[in-house]
Structure 1
């Protein structure tokens, strides 16, 4: 079986995405058009991305004093991606889009992530940036900035973190002040001057497009000139690298956005990661000091608006982590099938006179391969399910859309965090399958691990996702989201109990879900956030494994009902592995949550 076989099974047999074509927005599509999109993306990924994945790692971007230099392969890959139309794949036809469902768009992008995530990462940022502007920007901002991003003339970034603030966005100090008397009448939106520094900006400086559209979080000072503390004072601004007119044409004037340095990363090297200075005078703009920025939405709504991009990016990060895990799985499986070593265990000992066998025949190697398969294909199912919920949220009837939005709130922390932890573990197992060779640069699995290690950090670390899940999502609206997810899990359990082969797994999931619900309640039983949230990360891990058990049980139901094939048999076996090897890990994580264990909270700094 192949990756494409598994993808098709999950899309068409499990999620039944062909039914989306009955909706007005997707009426021009069919399985044939979806297949054509996948064929195109798979071909471009194979020709323009795969051969240069190692090159993007070894010839990482560097600054020559004037510009960021990247290998020609990076330019060719970006050009091919733009020409594919995938930047605007989900957009209206009037915006140059294909009106593809989100689930098809994300599935198509998975080919690029698997081929070379470093070469393809900028595209995700650009489409996410433009999608945010489509949701919250003015008509002029959509026409001038978003439309040019969808066409590939401009690329986009998101600028949140600062050197002194990191993930603590309430502590950002980038300032934005109105740009003179005519600031409020600019056709591109209320015009401001920004000054400050932003850190960890992927694709913050490059030569792959005519312009770079930075979406920047900054604070507007109050009447006393002071910044409002906390997140309520944060606003969102469009700050282009090069200034444009109302038709989107470059004016020839550089905005005061300057590269302060490049971050030299463990992996994910194909995309430049930057420190940017805004408004520090390197490129003075006529009429005042500071970088020119245009307000998006209302003052003070910056963080809420930015979450439109961040939530979409979190699902994308999870899918990217999944594809890196899958690439390692494929590489280690191919190696295990070809590498002869050892002989089968037999009564009376091994017969040294017999020829060696491929290592795939050894039970422990199969364990490591099966674990990779369970992690990566389970994570892929989860990501596609979330993308399908995005389609339901935007095109379903009112009731279905509301439920989809609530389920997305619950599952997004898992869709980001679970693949980034367990598909990284898959990469580690891929190295182990190759043994000493896996630890060398002669094989790609070590690079996949290095590339994937970023995914537990960016777009919200594990700790942040855990705090979001236990501190906000499971208790919001009196636990409505948790209750809705519980009803979906219970429905799957009920269906599985009717199948003798799956009934034991259904019982296991029922017991684990009950334990999760009990631990959730116990964590908050004292009403003291410090006690409840001290073990938010083990809670995230327990919740994630439980959610993946639900996904695997649902996939297994389809696999058992499908015609027998290697794909269906492989999915059934992966589901069995997950229930027998992985789900039993949950009680240990829940134990510290339920007891509100204070081991970590009581540890004193001096004791380290």
Structure 2
């Protein structure tokens, strides 16, 4: 498993994305191909030793609450400690914060090993995203006390948005934050508030893996009239630690009023605690009055702006998680297909002849992988998952360009990343889940049992179409905001970027037909976008946002595969290396079997089909 993954990562990082070229930039000057490889070596080893052997353990030994503490298996503690000690929590951060100043694309590639080994054992993406949001929007004291202690592994972080009655409708959240009196307005850790409310679906919301948990909580503050501001304008962001701390970053010994109300028992990701938290209910009363103590992050009323810094990062990370689960299933089903003997080869003969389509019962059985339909399912998985991995790493490379590039190149990278984020999250979540379904199919009846890991990979991956913004939310974001933002500047930039890849591909005769096919798909997507918005009515435009996003995503993945194929042929014009030949086969599958599927998806969006939108509830 790790050998195949490492080969794929090395190709994408170095042959395709030219990650080593980043070492010419001042921020990464201390690095080289050697240091990048050493980081991947370390993560590969930790994933192999501390994560992979316990993937089934954390699935069957779910978190338990004994009334005071959440109990997790020892392997989760050991894995988390090994990860923290590796320095990966702050891998991309400044040296001053204890980081390695790694390019984000290298950090993302290194973290891939943990996702394949055991996504359920406990992802650290929220801790890193939490700390990054504080670095961008927090005060210097908040950065030093909270973010730094998350990066060094002492503390963990969460994201507290949803509520039982509100779900994804953040304008309807009921959690309230009141100023904690004039005496605390100038607290060194930020303006101090008292929070009361309930939050739902909080991953890693309560555990004993770290000495403290830093909750980032959305809550509404009172307006000038003392009443909550309606909608999202009054939503602000607060740091609410599980245990109270001093300005020196040390625990005061006092528990904040954050209480576990219950554990959610999930279909998948069972090794990661998922909680309902009560803030300020009085279970752990804090001196000075009711409510949990929280510190304002950023400006009042700009909570969503601050939180979406973390949300966008988390969405790309969820896309990577979905990809790694898809790859885990692909590797498992590939191994099974190579070793499981079943059936015999079909005999040749002329069409309709006596022997055509028959089998020689006396012949020895062949491995599953000898059958064409098994190869179809394996090739589909490979095209979905390796294509999604390439997209994820491309987006990570855009992060580096946006942060360390210069002038227009940096601005374009940020705009392109904004444009691709809904696809980077949604496309792997849908299609790598389908890859997991195909992995079960290859295993046959065994795939449906717990004797093999593929059923767990499917269960774990089913969450990712919901995680960090549902499929429908991503689709509405793409068609309702991203393609029309700045008068379509992001969509135009993406089209220009794809056109450059097509021009590159046409230098190779065997890629020219694919480039032509992609050119048609791109024009179809652009035309459907214009048609969807031709009346200017958002209800009509967004009625088929999900089919539109499915087509858009397939077009993007075809572009990714075309560009990857150009890199293959530039290094290996007539691929004899099995890995490169496999990449070309996966690309061929995508253009022959997948890209042609976009026409009906675009058709309903282009004609603003209202079949679904206008059906009355009683008709169901």
Quote the offset at 1:183 in angstroms.
2.0
Tell me, in whole angstroms, the C-alpha distance in 2 between the residues paired with 1:275 and 1:455.
19
The whole-number CA distance in structure 2 between the counterparts of 1:427 and 1:49 is 20
> Which SS does the other structure have where 2:253 is aligned?
strand
CA displacement 1:156-207 (0-9 Å, x = unmatched): 0000001111001111111001001212110100000000000000000000
1:533-589 Cα offsets, whole Å, 9 max, x none, are 010011110100000000000001011122331111111110000000000010010
Structure 1 contact 562–568 (Cα < 8 Å) conserved: no
In the TM superposition, residue 600 of structure 1 has moved relative to its aligned partner by 0.2
Deviation at 1:62, TM superposition (A): 1.1
- The residue number in structure 1 matching 2:597 is 585
TM-score normalised by length of structure 1: 0.99
Quote the residue 2:227 is aligned against: 226
Does residue 1:527 correspond to 2:536, yes or no? yes
Secondary structure of the residue aligned to 1:4 is helix
- Asked if residue 470 in structure 1 is aligned to residue 471 in structure 2, the reply is no
1:602: which partner in 2? 614
Select which of 453, 478, 481 maps to 2:462: 453
Given candidates 31, 34, 41, the residue that maps to 1:32 is 34
Distance between the aligned counterparts of 1:453 and 1:390, measured in 2? Answer: 27
After TM superposition, list the pairs within 5 Å mapping 1:95-494 onto structure 2. Answer: 95-121=97-123, 123-347=124-348, 348=355, 349-494=358-503
The alpha-carbon deviation at position 601 of structure 1 amounts to: 1.0
Q: Does 1:9 align with 2:21?
A: no
Of residues 81, 84, 88, the one that matches 1:82 is 84
**Corresponding residue SS for 2:126:** helix
Task: Tell me the distance in 2 between the aligned counterparts of 1:296 and 1:82.
Answer: 25
How far did residue 499 of structure 1 move? Answer: 1.6
Query: Over residues 288-325 of structure 1, what are the superposed CA-to-partner deviations in whole Å (9 max), with x where a residue is unaligned?
Result: 11000000010011100111111011110000100000
CA deviations on 1:350-395 (whole Å, 9 max, x unpaired) are 1111100001010000000000000000000000000000000000
> In structure 2, how many angstroms separate the alpha carbons of the residues matched to 1:469 and 1:245?
43
**Whole-angstrom CA distance in 2 between matches of 1:426 and 1:232:** 41
Gap regions ≥5 residues in structure 1:
none
Give the Cα–Cα distance (whole angstroms) in 2 for the partners of residues 93 and 298 of structure 1: 28
1: CA distance, partners of 2:182 / 2:321: 46
Counterpart CA distance in 2 for 1:233 and 1:181 is: 20
Aligned to 2:352: none
Point out where structure 2 has 5 or more consecutive residues left out of the alignment. 349-354
The offset of 1:223, in angstroms, is: 3.0
8 Å contact 1:113–1:120 — kept in the other structure?
Answer: no
Number of residue pairs matched by the alignment: 607
1:576 matches 2:588: yes
Contact 1:112 / 1:120 at 8 angstroms: preserved in 2? no
Q: Is the 8 A contact 2:223 2:234 kept in 1?
A: no
After superposing on structure 2, the runs of 4+ consecutive aligned residues of structure 1 that deviate more than 2 Å are none
Cα contact 1:386–1:408 (8 A) shared by 2:
yes
CA displacement, residues 467-506 of structure 1 (integer Å, 9 cap, x when unaligned): 0000000001100000000001111112222321011111
186-195 vs 342-351, greater mean Cα deviation: 342-351
Q: Which moved more, 1:87-96 or 1:223-232?
A: 223-232
Is 1:515 aligned with 2:517?
A: no
User: 1:503 is matched with which residue?
Assistant: 512
Q: How far did residue 224 of structure 1 move?
A: 2.7
Distance 1:591 1:223 in 2: 49
CA positional deviation for 1:79: 0.5
Query: 1-side partners of 2:361 and 2:344: how far apart?
Result: 8
Q: Secondary structure at the match of 2:238?
A: strand
TM-score, scaled relative to structure 2:
0.97
Q: Distance in 1 between matches of 2:571 and 2:366?
A: 33
Instruction: Name the structure 2 match of 1:549.
Output: 558
| Cα distance in 2 for residues equivalent to 1:82 and 1:466 | 35
Structure 2 residue matching 1:570: 3-state secondary structure: helix
Matched residue, 1:68: 70
Q: In the aligned structure 1, how far is the partner of 2:506 from the partner of 2:609?
A: 35
CA contact (8 A) 1:114 1:324 kept: yes
The secondary structure found in structure 2 opposite 1:2 is helix
